[in-house]
Structure formats: C-alpha cells, structure tokens
C-alpha cells in the first residue's frame, strides 16, 4: 500500500493549515503516520489520493448512517440546488425538518436549526441559564460537547487524544461555573446537588458517551440523572449530536426511555452536510429570541442544502425501520469476541475496542487503555484496508451501507491485527 500522494499533500497542508488539518484528531498525532487524504467515498468504502480503498468506520464521525453518496440524499441535494443555495429567510423545508425532528423525538416540542453541534450545545447551555436564572452547569469527564469555552474542561475527543485537560485561550472565569463530575457515578452527583441545591442551571451529558471511545450508561444511571435534576429544578440536556437518529430513530432517549428537557442534535440530521439543532420543552424554547430574551442567531441556519439532505435522511430512516435491526446485527457481529486484554463497548451501531482488561465505564477506566497497542492495531487494520477512528478515544460507526462481506472482512482483519 503506497501513500506518496497523501504524504505530499500532508506536507503541503502543514504549511498552510495548522497541523495540516481542519480538526485535530484527523492529524493522526496519537497513532503516528500520515493520514490518507480522501479522494472519494461510495457506500461503506472510501478511496484515498493514492487509490487505496478502505472499509470506512468513521463515516464522517457519525453523520453517514446511510453510507457515502446515498442516492436519495444526492437526489434531494440536486433538487435543492435547482432552487438556490441560501436565502437567509424562512423556507417551507425548514418547517418540514422541524416537524420530522419533533415527531421522531417526543421530548422535542420545538427546535431551532444551527450549523454545527458546537453551536447547538453552546446555545442550549445559554438557554438553560436564561430559563433558570442560574449560572452553574455540570458536565462529565470525557464527555465532549464541541469546542464551547465553558465546556472544554476535561473534555474527551481531541483533548483526550492530545492528552490536554483543557484549552489555552479560555478565561478561567468561563470555567469557574462548570463543575466536572465522573460519568456513571450517582453518589458524586447526589453530593454535588446537596451542596449546590438551587444554583445549577443544567446538567449536560452524552447519554451514550462517544468521545472517550464508546461508553454506555450503567443501568439506572440516566434514570438517576433525570430524577435528581427534576428534584432540584435543574434542566437536563442530552447531547445527542452523536447518538441522535443513530442508536435508535428517536436517539438514546428512545433507547433508554428518558425525557430530557433539552436535546442537542447534529451529524445524522444533516445527512452529511453541516448542521446542528437544539430543541426541547416548549416553555423553555419559547425563551429564545425573537420569541423571548435569550439571543441566538445564524446567517446560514436552516441552510436549504443541509435541510434537504437532513430531511431526505430522516424520511428514509422513518420509511425503513429495519435499518436499525441490520445496524444492530452487524455491529454485534463486529463486537462478538475480543482477545484477552481488549474490552469492547457498544451501543447500537457505535463501538470501541479498548486495549485494557476493562470494564470501561468512565474517563478514568478509558484512560487505562494501552494507547501504544491501540496505535499498532490501528495501523495493522489500515494496512488491511480497514479505516477506524485514529484515536483510542473516539467511537467507531457502522453504516447501513456496510455489507455482510464488509463485516466478515473486518472481523478477519481484526483477528490478525490483534497480534500487532
């Protein structure tokens, strides 16, 4: 497998773009080597600039639930292009997408579209503070909610990959109102609420964490979160940017039967185009400008191309509920057996092979992974044509486009690569 063209592009990129990439984890810093520069994708496969072909388990970090270049999404985009690319004014399709989201996710009574998951979580936190009149927020170690100043504390994803506790450039005052607790620990949560009773505006959580690798909630944890926040008048925000429409049509909240007050979405709802959304209870959402006093705005919000792709995605998923059974079966087959020293975590079509005896249920246990061994495994898989997230602390994603043969080849590759 050669990568001369990717190496040449990476050298040039590093002269022009910080670290050579437009988002840190893509630079392969924690696994070493040169990232393949992707030339095109088709279904479950991607092809790099040197002509190498891979089975793709990144799927653009989650959005491509139907794989690359799904015909219904392409056709919706072609139709949208005939009409215009941006108006900065309301359109009928935005109303349709809002209706599709509210119908699929019953806790969302009203929704606002934005352009990224980061915008969605930033806005949801501001809204929670505006609604409650409180300033403090609680987040969990290893959860990542985009690069929002006040949420970049002990965050997962790129910060975990690069081994950073936080980011320079964030004023201390922005973090002083953020309390960071271990995920999956009810006692610590109870203790914090007993101390801060009526001062916590919101708890924000990835109900299945995808940004320290895949870490599902322990039985009863989300139920406890819901009960405690309700008792203290604190809003519960589910960050479902990754899990929304992925672990189930109605997201993790459908899977676990929990109604949060606010939900953030992104990834799948854009069908591969840049989009985000936040929504929830009508009485809370009605506080948003221009209906209420909490400000939030965006020139490209509700962009016609992103809305068209998102609507095509949600309509396809609604019409084909069997997709979730297929995703479940394929991902379960990938996770069916691991050798000693490897722990596998899975929720629906998200999974991670952790290089530790396990169990992995929070950031500390995820950090026990042997990242050098992960890096060797990662490269052994890449050489065998399997493209995994280039970090121990990111979830892998299966799409509906993955075939039985893709899964069989991946399992066979993994059996060899464990020895690397």
Nearer to ligand HOZ, 94 or 394 (CB): 394
Q: Which residues are within 8 A (CB) of 12 and not within 5 positions of it... i.e. 6 or more apart?
A: none
Nearer to ligand HOZ, 122 or 284 (CB): 122
x/- site string to ligand HOZ, residues 176 to 215, per CB under 6 A?
A: -----------------------------------x----
Residue 173 beta carbon to ligand HOZ: minimum distance, rounded to whole angstroms: 25
Half-sphere exposure (CA, 13 Å, Cβ side) for 57? Answer: 27
Q: Which helix (H) or strand (E) holds 100?
A: helix 92-104
> If binding is defined by CB under 6 A, does position 158 make contact with ligand HOZ?
yes
> If binding is defined by CB under 6 A, does position 23 make contact with ligand HOZ?
yes
Question: Which tokens go with 29?
Answer: 């810093």
> If binding is defined by CB under 6 A, does position 25 make contact with ligand HOZ?
yes
Cα-based angle 110, 114, 115 (whole degrees, multiple of 5)? 155
Residues in the chain: 420
Nearer to ligand HOZ, 226 or 267 (CB): 267
Of the candidates 286, 291, 269, 284, the one whose C-alpha atom is nearest the C-alpha of residue 100 is 269
Task: Please report, as residue ranges, which positions from 359 to 388 form the binding site for ligand HOZ (by CB under 6 A).
Answer: none
Question: Which tokens go with 260?
Answer: 């949060």
Contact 314, 89 (CB under 8 A): no
Nearer to ligand HOZ, 121 or 157 (CB): 157
> Catalytic one among 54, 144, 221, 363?
144
Strands 200-205, 136-140: pairing is parallel
x/- site string to ligand HOZ, residues 52 to 91, per CB under 6 A?
A: ---------x------------------------------
239 labelled catalytic: yes
CA separation for the pair 188, 174 (Å, rounded)? 23
Nearer to ligand HOZ, 61 or 278 (CB): 61
Residue 182 beta carbon to ligand HOZ: minimum distance, rounded to whole angstroms: 20
> Catalytic one among 57, 267, 324, 387?
267
Nearer to ligand HOZ, 28 or 256 (CB): 28
Helix, strand, coil shares, percent, the chain, to 5: 40, 15, 40
Which one of 18-26, 178-186, 291-299, 310-318 is the stretch in contact with ligand HOZ (CB under 6 A)?
A: 18-26
CA separation for the pair 125, 237 (Å, rounded)? 8
Which one of 20-28, 78-86, 263-271, 369-377 is the stretch in contact with ligand HOZ (CB under 6 A)?
A: 20-28
Query: Exposed (0-12), middle (13-18) or buried (19+): which is 371, by Cβ within 10 Å?
Result: middle
Phi-psi region of 151 (alpha: psi -120 to 50; beta: other; left: phi over 0): alpha
Of the candidates 206, 229, 202, 228, the one whose C-alpha atom is nearest the C-alpha of residue 217 is 206
Nearer to ligand HOZ, 158 or 279 (CB): 158
**Residue 204 backbone dihedrals phi, psi, to 5 degrees:** -110, 135
Residue 61 beta carbon to ligand HOZ: minimum distance, rounded to whole angstroms: 4
> Catalytic one among 239, 261, 362, 406?
239
Which one of 21-29, 245-253, 308-316, 366-374 is the stretch in contact with ligand HOZ (CB under 6 A)?
A: 21-29
> How many residues sit close enough to ligand HOZ to count as binding (CB under 6 A)?
8
């924690």: which residue's tokens?
Answer: 30
Q: What b/e readout covers 6-28, taking b as 16+ CB neighbours within 10 angstroms?
A: bbebbeebeeeeeebbeebbbbb
Residue 250 beta carbon to ligand HOZ: minimum distance, rounded to whole angstroms: 22
Which one of residues 181, 394, 396, 407 is an interface residue with ligand HOZ (CB under 6 A)? 394
For ligand HOZ, which residue has the nearest CB? Answer: 23
Residue 131 beta carbon to ligand HOZ: minimum distance, rounded to whole angstroms: 28
Q: Alpha helices of 110-245 — where are they, by DSSP H? A: 117-132, 158-162, 172-176, 186-196, 221-231
Residue 235 beta carbon to ligand HOZ: minimum distance, rounded to whole angstroms: 24
* β-pair partners for 204: 237
> If binding is defined by CB under 6 A, does position 155 make contact with ligand HOZ?
no
Which one of residues 26, 70, 129, 139 is an interface residue with ligand HOZ (CB under 6 A)? 26
Task: Please report, as residue ranges, which positions from 210 to 239 form the binding site for ligand HOZ (by CB under 6 A).
Answer: 211
DSSP annotation of 217: P
Contact 284, 260 (CB under 8 A): no
Nearer to ligand HOZ, 162 or 218 (CB): 162
CA separation for the pair 59, 52 (Å, rounded)? 17
Which residues form the interface with ligand HOZ (CB under 6 A)? 23, 25-26, 61, 157-158, 211, 394
User: Which are the catalytic amino acids?
Assistant: 144, 239, 267
């Amino acid at each position: 497998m050669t990568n001369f063209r990717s190496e040449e592009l990476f050298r040039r990129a590093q002269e022009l773009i910080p670290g050579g990439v437009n988002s840190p984890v893509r630079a392969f810093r924690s696994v070493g080597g040169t990232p393949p520069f992707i030339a095109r994708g088709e279904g479950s496969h991607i092809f790099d600039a040197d002509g190498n072909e891979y089975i793709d388990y990144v799927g653009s970090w989650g959005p491509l639930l139907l794989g690359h270049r799904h015909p219904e999404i392409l056709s919706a985009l072609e139709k949208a292009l005939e009409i215009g690319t941006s108006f900065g004014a309301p359109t009928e399709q935005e109303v349709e997408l809002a209706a599709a989201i509210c119908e699929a996710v019953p806790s969302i009574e009203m929704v606002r579209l934005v352009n990224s998951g980061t915008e969605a979580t930033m806005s949801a936190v501001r809204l929670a503070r505006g609604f409650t009149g409180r300033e403090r927020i609680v987040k969990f170690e290893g959860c990542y909610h985009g690069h929002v100043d006040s949420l970049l504390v002990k965050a997962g994803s790129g910060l975990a990959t690069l081994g950073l506790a936080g980011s320079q450039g964030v004023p201390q005052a922005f973090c002083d109102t953020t309390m960071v607790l271990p995920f999956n620990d009810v006692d610590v949560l109870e203790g914090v609420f007993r101390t801060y009773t009526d001062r916590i505006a919101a708890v924000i959580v990835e109900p299945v964490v995808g940004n320290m690798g895949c870490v599902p909630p322990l039985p009863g944890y989300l139920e406890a979160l819901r009960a405690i926040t309700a008792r203290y008048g604190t809003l519960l925000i589910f960050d479902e940017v990754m899990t929304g429409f992925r672990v189930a049509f109605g997201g993790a909240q459908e899977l676990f039967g929990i109604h949060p007050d606010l939900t953030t979405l992104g990834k799948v709802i854009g069908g591969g185009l840049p989009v985000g959304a936040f929504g929830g209870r009508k009485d809370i959402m009605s506080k948003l400008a221009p209906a209420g006093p909490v400000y939030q705005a965006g020139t490209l919000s509700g962009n016609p191309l992103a809305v068209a792709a998102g609507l095509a995605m949600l309509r396809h998923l609604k019409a084909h509920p069997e997709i979730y059974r297929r995703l479940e079966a394929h991902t379960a087959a990938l996770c069916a057996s691991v050798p000693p020293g490897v722990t596998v975590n899975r929720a629906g079509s998200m999974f991670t092979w952790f290089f530790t005896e396990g169990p992995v249920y929070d950031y500390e246990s995820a950090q026990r992974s042997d990242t050098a061994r992960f890096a060797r495994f990662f490269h052994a898989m890449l050489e065998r044509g399997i493209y995994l997230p280039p970090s121990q602390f990111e979830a892998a994603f299966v799409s509906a486009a993955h075939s039985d043969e893709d899964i069989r080849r991946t399992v066979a590759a993994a059996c060899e690569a464990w020895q690397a």
